[in-house]
Structure 1
């Protein structure tokens, strides 16, 4: 009889009970079944390919004259943006299990499930694979993909972490017999299935380069890699920093880490030994964060797997890094990415429009423009223009006195 792990803390489904003629009681449970792939097969499939249509856009990144768009779980589309009015696709980096990248001095660093892989992009028309660092990411979010729906139990099947990656989850319903013994409930299944040049990422980034170090976060861990020698990545640190970790942002000597229930601040004066400084907590929600000056701006998105239903834009005073505190909250409908440029704050409110605020007074934001009919996932404010990814389309805007002006709209297909 197959045993299944019960994760009651993740369950948000109502249990439906039934009885048969002999009064045996059952309940319906949702099982997340691990979909496995051989590590050898995954690693052998990494390649530089010709450009191709995008399947599902994820995060965006920009480096010099190029834009990199993640194709969730599949790899990275490379776009020539030397002429922003007319971007052109160049290539596709096939990287199974990829969601994040960073670039320093023409070396691209990318996650591939639990591995870190490196590419040489010094010749953008002839990108080459450099090296692979195996099994450096051990936590949920890298070595195991995120869950796309709520569930009650996990079935890992024949998973052996030395031989396979979990590449996906399938979801099935099972009937579970409830047996009582000495006041306890035992659950068993009765049926079921098995000089430096770096780039810039958006607010959902889990990778961040600071000087000659690459920082990465997964669901519970902070990783540190020394990348001072070109084409190498030597892990020099790893520490548990909590639970529900989602994003990482750097400003000066600090890392600002967004989690599902708050924002953490770590001091990185010693680059190899990030030190916990403080945190600010909030109710559970999906949480990217950006920082400008003495204020941090974060969006909390409720609903689905993100926790409660309330969604807000929160402004936090971080002048005293050891004592951050919330100064203002603004109601949102379905917020995602955000970014800042001088006195402007850009916030995606999902299908409710792309919002632009004047943040001259960070504690009293003034809404100055809403770009409707665009569902932005994330943004990158550059010096002379702003990049936004919405669905499978890359939008570029120039800055105007009271908002943005559309420069180009590039469908990645």
Structure 2
């Protein structure tokens, strides 16, 4: 991925075939075309601004009395939640290429394309940018997170990762001739290349702080940063762990990593040297995961850029970390984020409502309630309330017996 024009061949699917009089057959391919921007320009634009309208809400994060809402690929909205019935936007962290954050001891860590940037939020009314670590992440991983449509190939144009970031994508179609040689079909011209105070994120997190270490996953790698010194970050480990990696979750001395092909388990008894323990595979699909006790819960979403069409909620027995196995699957329509609070499991099924399950018997979940007319993307169950983000709106609920009660509904406009 270093020079000139090249195509990354992601998958070959038979989509639409058309025939000419000479029986020549063609396939329609969707091309994701990279939009490039100078690294110097992007880095100079990182700033702390007054509150502004949101474009598209992404992941949510909560720290002390504040909620941080990712504005996909643009930055982070800071919301004062000291009065949950009446939250208020107070600032915007302009961070191009941002999708995730974590906070420890008033230091906010955020991705900005291949960079890691640090903000001091001790004085929430005077947030300051304190440091930037350039090109610590794979130039390939985070750019793909911004692709929002199904595609067959990627055209990076004149991308040079030492000079530019991939800041967005446009989409186009091309017709490619299919050449049939006996039982084998070939596509012509298919070029292939290659005691701390921390906050809490949702099930789509790619950042996770454990003690004084920050763990980050991108499309293929797991990174370990030593953040024991306030305001300083040091990359102490990086390893390739697979392909199409999406999320990370921590429980005790293990990381549970969701990918489009399954869930991986890594032992982090040695915080600087994560060790592969096991994995469980499934059909390709988008895959956030949460863990409680001897069970992991994950949603598998098919369609669009996620792969096949199957969508399920899966329960996995992880009592033996070296031998996880699936114990139950529940059919869903379009699942996204999920979370756990004691015996309750909260699962978003996209436009099909927000589902609440009794998980006191994990292998026999009982559906207690479906909150209709809400399309939740991600959820954070706290001790005293539950936070959910849906279509630029922050919902907060209090826990009631076998259900939830709406506390506030805040449109982040």
TM-score range relative to shorter protein = over 0.9
Question: Aligned-pair distance for 1:149?
Answer: 2.2
- Give the whole-Å Cα distance in 1 for the aligned partners of 2:185 and 2:281: 35
Q: Which residue of 1 aligns with 2:7?
A: 5
The 8 Å contact of residues 354 and 370 in structure 1, kept in 2 or not, is answered as yes
| 1:86 aligns to 2:77 (yes or no) | no
Match of 1:221 in 2: 221
Determine helix, strand or coil for the equivalent of 2:369: strand
Comparing 169-178 and 79-88, the one that deviates more: 169-178
CA pair 175-214 structure 1, distance change in 2 beyond 3 A: same
Within 5 Å, give how 1:114-153 maps onto structure 2: 114-153=114-153
Query: Structure 2: any 5+ residue segments left out of the alignment?
Result: none
Cα distance in 2 for partners of 1:248, 1:375 equals: 23
How many Å apart are 1:346 and its aligned residue? 0.5
Distance 1:306 1:24, change over 3 A: closer
CA distance in 2, matches of 1:15, 1:27: 6
Query: Offset at 1:232?
Result: 1.0
Contact 2:253-2:269 within 8 A present in 1 as well? yes
Cα displacement (A) at 1:159? 0.8
Pairwise CA distance, 1:157: 1.3
Name the counterpart of 2:266: 266
CA shift, 1:303, in A, is: 1.4
Does residue 73 in structure 1 map to residue 63 in structure 2? Answer: no
Q: Give the count of matched residue pairs.
A: 404
Alignment TM-score, normalising by the size of structure 1: 0.93
Q: Secondary structure of the equivalent of 1:142?
A: helix
Q: Name 1:407's counterpart in structure 2.
A: 407
Q: Secondary structure at the match of 2:141?
A: coil
Deviation of 1:147 (Å): 2.4
Matched residue SS, 2:43: helix
After superposition, give the CA deviation of every residue in 1:380-409 in whole Å (9 maximum; x if it has no partner).
000000000011100000001120000000
Matches within 5 A, 1:15-54: 15-17=16-18, 19=20, 27-54=27-54
TM-score normalised by length of structure 2: 0.93
Structure 1 residues 17 and 79, CA gap change in structure 2 (3 angstroms)? same
1: CA distance, partners of 2:274 / 2:26: 49
Evaluate the alpha carbon distance shift between residue 365 and residue 131 of structure 1 in structure 2; reply closer, same or farther with a 3 A threshold.
same
The 3 A distance-change label for structure 1 pair 286 and 25 is: closer
Segments of structure 1 that go 5 or more residues without pairing to the other structure are 190-194
User: CA deviation digits over 1:235-263, x for unaligned, max 9?
Assistant: 00100101111100000000000111111
In structure 2, relative to structure 1, the CA distance for the partners of 1:175 and 1:210 (3 Å cut) is: same
In structure 2, what is the Cα distance between the partners aligned to 1:285 and 1:38?
A: 33
Cα drift, residue 188 of structure 1: 4.9
Most deviating of 115-124 and 300-309: 300-309
Query: Contact between 2:100 and 2:207, CA under 8 Å: does it hold in 1?
Result: yes
SS in 1 for 2:398: strand
How much has 1:10 moved relative to structure 2?
2.1
Q: Is the 8 A contact 1:11 1:150 kept in 2?
A: no
Report the Cα distance in structure 1 between the residues aligned to 2:25 and 2:301, rounded to whole angstroms. Answer: 38
Q: How much is the aligned-residue C-alpha RMSD, in angstroms?
A: 2.1
Q: Is the 8 A contact 2:301 2:312 kept in 1?
A: yes
